[in-house]
Amino acid sequence: MNPQSSTIAKEAYEAGNYALALETYLRILREESASIEPGETGFIYHQMGNCLVKMKRLDKAIPAYGKALDDPDYDRRSALLVNMGLAYAASGDYEGALPFYEEALADEANDAPYKAYNAQGQALLKLGKAAEAGTAFRAAALDEANPDPARSLVNLGVCFMALNRPHDAVEAYRASLEFDTSDSNRSKAFANLGQAYYVTGRMREAVSSFESALENGDYQLSKAAQADYVAAKAAVGDVPAEAPGAVDQEALMAAYKAGSTGSWEAATDDSAYIPPVDDTGFFSVTEDQINQMGREYVRQERKLKNIGLKILLALAILILLALGAVGFAYYKGYGYPMQETVVTDMFHAYASGGDLTQYWAQADEDDIMQVMSMVPKSDKVKITSMQRSMTDSTASVVVTTPQGGDLKYVVTLGRDMLGWKITNVELVFASTQP
């Protein structure tokens, strides 16, 4: 391959000019094919796939990776297989991704199997297969080549919690804290450990773990973890007994056996990272390849002309009555559109590739898709409960995956004028939440 052209493509990619990098690789294939050495065709198509992923064009990235796989001389096949699987997963096809991870793991030349195991675990967790996901995360954590086993162990703990095995989750979270990892993942490990301790009735350890999580000033507990933190403090007498969420240990364990709900944070998803162009190994992407379709709401104004005094007086009375009813409804947590409509429409838009920003309080699409990365794309959505207040609301939602499994989520909403906007979506597992 022409070194000058290769350098141009590499520098363009590193500068974030993915279109130029892609154009350069295409030019190399068209105009400089004579300079391409064995194995470099696979490398070029691999990098083209990376560029297309960065440009959120997964429909084009997958065929590019397929072309790279066709090169028998390309020596990064296992890494490429993982990339291909991640591209399928990022497009919402988690089942389609699994065969590529399995083929990568079967490759004897694979010198970093933890990458495939981590990706496999994420896909299986998306499909609601917590036991199989846990097996994958455990294998990733045990791989000596894994530079960050803590992240895999935190995700293993999440799987144990999903399987109603909180004692095993405690051990997984504690093991993760023995390794160096990012401050964010370390805080998540402590927060999850606090929730696992809470589930097992070890309240003092729970409080200590939550406080360790909060030592990182940039970290905030999730709504579920905050509730457990308050309840654990109440249980050990650090706050008044009437504090929200306070429970005694006997009631807690009874709730655990009954199997109510709670939620835990996975460690930072590998989909948050894409490597530089010279790293053709493991990478992933968020599911933010949404095609902006947009929605327009038409507001019609009614003008009153030539209305007699009696009609005006009657209208004034009706308006006063309506305002009183609206005020009462507003106080009770109602609005337009209703919370149920916002939640249902958002999940349906996510499944169909629609615009999500109109339903969320935050407008940044990347942030929204990061939150939605743990949600399968399915139009089978059921709201099982709704807790309303004047300023915020919480919905319990069940999403049925295309494979027939049910995943539970807690959706929080904040008031937006008369209506509602979504502020967060959390994956929920069985626990002792009262």
Residue 303 belongs to what domain range?
295-434
Average the pLDDT over 64-93 and give the result: 90
Rg of the chain (C-alpha set): 26
CA 27/CA 29 separation, integer angstroms: 5
pLDDT at 252: 38
Q: What's the angle, vertex CA 221, arms to CA 244 and CA 124, rounded to 5?
A: 115
Residue 411 inside a domain? The answer is yes
Judged against a pLDDT cut of 50, whether residue 283 lies above it is answered with no
* Dihedrals phi, psi of 431, to nearest 5 degrees: -160, -155
Residue 359 inside a domain? The answer is yes
* 317-350: pLDDT as tens digits: 555 555 555 555 555 666 667 888 899 999 998 8
Residue 109 inside a domain? The answer is no
- Provide the CA 352 distance to its chain's centre, in angstroms: 17
pLDDT at 30: 85
pLDDT at 102: 95
- In three-state form (DSSP H/G/I as H, E/B as E, the rest C), the secondary structure along the chain is CCHHHHHHHHHHHHCCCHHHHHHHHHHHHHHCHHHCCCCHHHHHHHHHHHHHHHCCCHHHHHHHHHHHHCCCCCCCHHHHHHHHHHHHHHCCCHHHHHHHHHHHHHCCCCCCHHHHHHHHHHHHHHCCCHHHHHHHHHHHHHCCCCCCHHHHHHHHHHHHHHCCCHHHHHHHHHHHCCCCCCHHHHHHHHHHHHHHHHHHCCHHHHHHHHHHHCCCCCCCCCHHHHHHHHHHHHHCCCCCCCCCCCCCHHHHHHHHHHCEEECCCCCCCHHHCCCCCCCCCCCCCCCCCCCCCCCCCCCCCCCCCCCCHHHHHHHHHHHHHHHHHHHHHHHCCCCCCCHHHHHHHHHHHHHHCCCCHHHECCCCHHHHHHHHHHCCCCCCEEEEEEEECCCEEEEEEEEECCCCCEEEEEEEEEEECCEEEEEEEEEEEEECCC
CA 425/CA 293 separation, integer angstroms: 22
Judged against a pLDDT cut of 90, whether residue 118 lies above it is answered with yes
The answer to whether 213 and 222 are in contact (CB under 8 A) is no
> What is the token pair recorded at 99?
């065969």
Q: Which residue matches tokens 């504690």? A: 174
The answer to whether 360 and 421 are in contact (CB under 8 A) is yes
Q: Which residues of 206-221 are buried (b: 16+ CB within 10 A; e: fewer)?
A: bbbbbebbbeeeeeeb
* 363-393: pLDDT as tens digits: 678 778 878 877 888 888 999 998 888 788 9
Judged against a pLDDT cut of 50, whether residue 272 lies above it is answered with no
Residue 335 inside a domain? The answer is yes
* 132-177: pLDDT as tens digits: 999 999 999 999 899 999 999 999 999 999 888 999 999 999 999 9
pLDDT at 224: 87
Instruction: Compute how many other C-beta atoms are within 10 angstroms of the C-beta atom of residue 314.
Output: 12
pLDDT at 379: 84
CA 28/CA 5 separation, integer angstroms: 7
CA 38/CA 57 separation, integer angstroms: 27
In terms of average pLDDT, the best of 239-253, 384-398, 417-431 is 384-398
Share of the chain above pLDDT 70, in %: 76
Average the pLDDT over 288-307 and give the result: 30
CATH number (domain holding residue 323): 3.10.450.630
Judged against a pLDDT cut of 90, whether residue 57 lies above it is answered with no
pLDDT at 114: 94
* 186-218: pLDDT as tens digits: 999 999 999 999 999 999 999 999 999 999 888
Question: What is the domain count for the chain?
Answer: 1
pLDDT at 288: 30
CA 268/CA 182 separation, integer angstroms: 9
Residue 389 inside a domain? The answer is yes
Residue 238 inside a domain? The answer is no
CA 37/CA 33 separation, integer angstroms: 9
pLDDT at 324: 58
The answer to whether 39 and 71 are in contact (CB under 8 A) is yes
Residue 302 half-sphere exposure toward CB, CA atoms < 13 A: 2
Residue 328 inside a domain? The answer is yes
CA 270/CA 86 separation, integer angstroms: 10
**Which residue would you say has higher pLDDT here, 333 or 301?**
333
pLDDT at 29: 86
pLDDT at 100: 95
Question: 0.75 exceeded by the pTM?
Answer: no
Report the DSSP beta bridge partners of residue 395.
386, 411
pLDDT at 363: 66
**How large is the angle between the packed helices 40-54 and 77-90, nearest 10 degrees?**
20
**Which residue would you say has higher pLDDT here, 280 or 231?**
231
- Residue 99 — pLDDT band, cuts 50, 70, 90? very high
pLDDT at 5: 85
Average the pLDDT over 18-36 and give the result: 86
pLDDT at 333: 60
Judged against a pLDDT cut of 90, whether residue 106 lies above it is answered with yes
Residue 84 inside a domain? The answer is no
Residue 143 half-sphere exposure toward CB, CA atoms < 13 A: 23
Judged against a pLDDT cut of 60, whether residue 232 lies above it is answered with yes
- Provide the CA 376 distance to its chain's centre, in angstroms: 10
CA 261/CA 268 separation, integer angstroms: 22
